[in-house]
Structure 1
């Protein structure tokens, strides 16, 4: 009997041990996710979304924000090889998304997209920006339409109105110059591409698209002509110092420049500074340089919210992405930031932004993928450096284009 009892106890111990091992092997279900992002200034808004998601689906979210884009990208890529992994993270569409999909690092969200499109929470028109190899990855963190934010008080002071043509816009810049006011903001770091993409898209959007696929060269006459036009605007004295470190939100508020070209997400910078739309500032669509184009070119971007393919709790991450696309989540996300939404059901309070969103969705504009997403990463790196040098020394534009084209030649020689 003693031997039998010992044997019974031994079997029981093995069973308990096996159960313990299985319990340890099972991933712990999360009640709060960490969202790493490159939008540190939006921490307040992410926190509010985390509080709402906890109430709505029992799953909280805590943001961990970076303000330096290069450092953030390096962190996320390093996390693929370490145990410190984000549950959710922000990224870019285009070449950067394709890169991490090919590395099998990002979760497939095809089912989320199909369900959201069927429910009317996402537009089919957005899907191509998130499609790699016939499948969708990530969901839209935000969408943005690019145009010009302007200081309304400065415009009113000199009797200025939003321009209907490119010549009108240049005329406004000239009037401001005569009154000692810089017309435009630009910078030599990160967003150094803004005026290149706007001038290219407004002059020859087909050429712009061919550049992004290697079917045109940066040394082609049409691109050179755009750089010469850009140089002429700088030489005319319409821009502030590109090395000025003042936040562009403060630049517009304090009148250091009368106009700032950014995506509709920049509206958040205005609301953060307690500026009122229609009274303190306004927004207009930038006219084409070439008036013969059939549609006005509008720069468009959509930033992804992603989950890892090997997330700590894949079900929780996917549940959060699914909730993020809903009208409940998107109405809160858009309203608190004073921005537009990827969900067509969400009404936009700001009249100007609401009109742009409606018109963009109805096909009024030719939507042009933002340069940052449209351009392959190695070419983009060379271009950001090149444009940054150009705005400081405009006379170097030919050397700048040659340098970017060298990077493009190197890239497209191995990528068809």
Structure 2
């Protein structure tokens, strides 16, 4: 009996000792909406079950408040060990300041250089080193009504010339080629993103987003020349500024418009009886010599350079990239994950098509208002709409936009 008691006491002491010296992993998350929050909590629980020696402290902050607080966290001497964040220039902003840890060893040990498509590597690496772990994304494309295309013997255009022929045929038959609602002008920004990447390439586009290129540059003017072909020919919905993006969807539903450049979420606004008649194609190629870039807003994770428990943090990032964690994302919240090892048959056919499209691109942008500074994004989107209704003033609009660019990026440098 005494032996059993002593054994029990020893066990309790050992457990107490283990708990006292367990690593604490602090994670600050912006996944505050109910389903993403629940999903992430389940992933954290699975990690803890596999790593009982690590105690996880999960702090969830509302999305907008998170964005305001992240700078303070990263600049402090006691930051969290892991933070959620946005890929691309949003992440590189902090990387360039030396606030984010190099996680190339995580990528190498988990085989992520092979498991993540090169497009997602382009938004996670700097000078060959990995600083960001991309997790989930959604794609943009041109969605269209299959029945309308079939009625006029149209096929998915691959090139700009083919797209213009499709638009001309639709217009001749009383169908508006493109639905769009620009009451909130981010929908117009999508057109700028794609045209600028197709004309000048994603690297040029990113330089523009980070204030390194002037808006008055000849390359930007060329982008507007292509955009102007669509506007001047009346290929967009009339009075687009009267509609929010969802308010323009009924024109497609009613068969009055055939196409819409939009994110994957457009299908959430389409009636069930129309969904089977919806398909999408990649934004057509303008110059075959230009690398292909796509808008694919991507969320993921980073480790602050001053993290107290980098070993535990890296172990958690490896787990996040694993099939176990990524399958939870797919099954529970329907997210599209970046790991190519996740079987395609886990997704519905339309999603499989989107994934295949994204796996073949050269670079990924995050979207105009994610890739540049917030104030610059507002000025830019307002300028796009000014040009839309007054295209003859392009030079003046771009000159004013350049003055704003110089002011905004200089002010940002002073704040750093």
Give the aligned partner of residue 224 of structure 2. Answer: 227
Match of 1:329, SS state, is helix
1:91–1:306 CA contact under 8 A, matched in 2: yes
Asked whether 1:140 is paired with 2:134, we answer: yes
Give the aligned partner of residue 306 of structure 1. Answer: 302
Asked whether 1:99 is paired with 2:93, we answer: yes
1:64-96, CA deviations, whole angstroms, 9 ceiling, x for partnerless residues?
553x6xx65334335557899777544333433
**Counterpart selection for 1:36 from 30, 33, 44:** 30
Cα distance change on mapping 1:208 and 1:101 into 2, 3 Å:
closer
Counterparts of residues 365-380 of structure 1 (less than 5 Å)? 365-367=361-363, 369-370=365-366, 372=368, 380=377
Give the aligned partner of residue 260 of structure 2. Answer: 260
1:139–1:306 CA contact under 8 A, matched in 2: yes
1:189-236, CA deviations, whole angstroms, 9 ceiling, x for partnerless residues?
345421112122223327546646777543234422321332342341
Deviation at 1:182, TM superposition (A): 5.8
Asked whether 1:201 is paired with 2:197, we answer: yes
Deviation at 1:111, TM superposition (A): 2.7
- List runs of 5+ in structure 1 lacking aligned partners: 1-24
2:137–2:337 CA contact under 8 A, matched in 1: yes
Which segment is superposed worse, 172-181 or 394-403? 172-181
Cα distance change on mapping 1:404 and 1:99 into 2, 3 Å:
same
**Counterpart selection for 2:316 from 315, 320, 323:** 320
Asked whether 1:112 is paired with 2:106, we answer: yes
1:146–1:261 CA contact under 8 A, matched in 2: yes
Give the aligned partner of residue 21 of structure 1. Answer: none
Paired with 2:197 and 2:89, the residues of 1 have a C-alpha distance of 19
Cα distance change on mapping 1:323 and 1:377 into 2, 3 Å:
same
Asked whether 1:50 is paired with 2:41, we answer: yes
1:339-369, CA deviations, whole angstroms, 9 ceiling, x for partnerless residues?
543111112334454355446545xx44364
Match of 2:24, SS state, is coil
Asked whether 1:184 is paired with 2:184, we answer: no
Paired with 1:393 and 1:74, the residues of 2 have a C-alpha distance of 36
2:100–2:304 CA contact under 8 A, matched in 1: yes
Root-mean-square deviation (CA, aligned residues, Å) is 4.5
Paired with 1:110 and 1:241, the residues of 2 have a C-alpha distance of 46
Cα distance change on mapping 1:371 and 1:406 into 2, 3 Å:
farther
Counterparts of residues 2-401 of structure 1 (less than 5 Å)? 29=24, 33-37=27-31, 40=33, 43-58=34-49, 64-66=61-63, 73-77=67-71, 89-117=83-111, 120-123=114-117, 126-132=120-126, 135-156=129-150, 160-177=154-171, 178-181=173-176, 183-187=178-182, 188-205=184-201, 208=205, 211=208, 217-235=214-232, 236-239=234-237, 241-247=240-246, 254=253, 258-262=258-262, 266-268=263-265, 270=267, 275=272, 279-290=276-287, 293-294=288-289, 297-301=292-296, 302-310=298-306, 317-336=313-332, 338=334, 340-348=336-344, 349-351=347-349, 353-355=351-353, 357-358=355-356, 360-361=358-359, 365-367=361-363, 369-370=365-366, 372=368, 380=377, 382-391=379-388, 393-401=390-398
Cα distance change on mapping 1:106 and 1:191 into 2, 3 Å:
farther
- List runs of 5+ in structure 2 lacking aligned partners: 1-19, 50-55
Paired with 1:215 and 1:34, the residues of 2 have a C-alpha distance of 32
2:176–2:235 CA contact under 8 A, matched in 1: no
1:85-142, CA deviations, whole angstroms, 9 ceiling, x for partnerless residues?
7775443334332322344544443332222226954356644422346643231032
Give the aligned partner of residue 8 of structure 2. Answer: none
Paired with 1:276 and 1:403, the residues of 2 have a C-alpha distance of 47
2:133–2:317 CA contact under 8 A, matched in 1: yes
Q: What TM-score does the superposition give when structure 2 sets the normalisation length?
A: 0.70
Deviation at 1:237, TM superposition (A): 4.7
Paired with 1:331 and 1:391, the residues of 2 have a C-alpha distance of 43
Paired with 2:342 and 2:271, the residues of 1 have a C-alpha distance of 23
Cα distance change on mapping 1:159 and 1:331 into 2, 3 Å:
farther
1:163-191, CA deviations, whole angstroms, 9 ceiling, x for partnerless residues?
23323323433444443546232534345
Paired with 1:330 and 1:80, the residues of 2 have a C-alpha distance of 26
1:24-66, CA deviations, whole angstroms, 9 ceiling, x for partnerless residues?
x999836x955215x85xx424422422441354369675553
Q: How many residues align?
A: 378
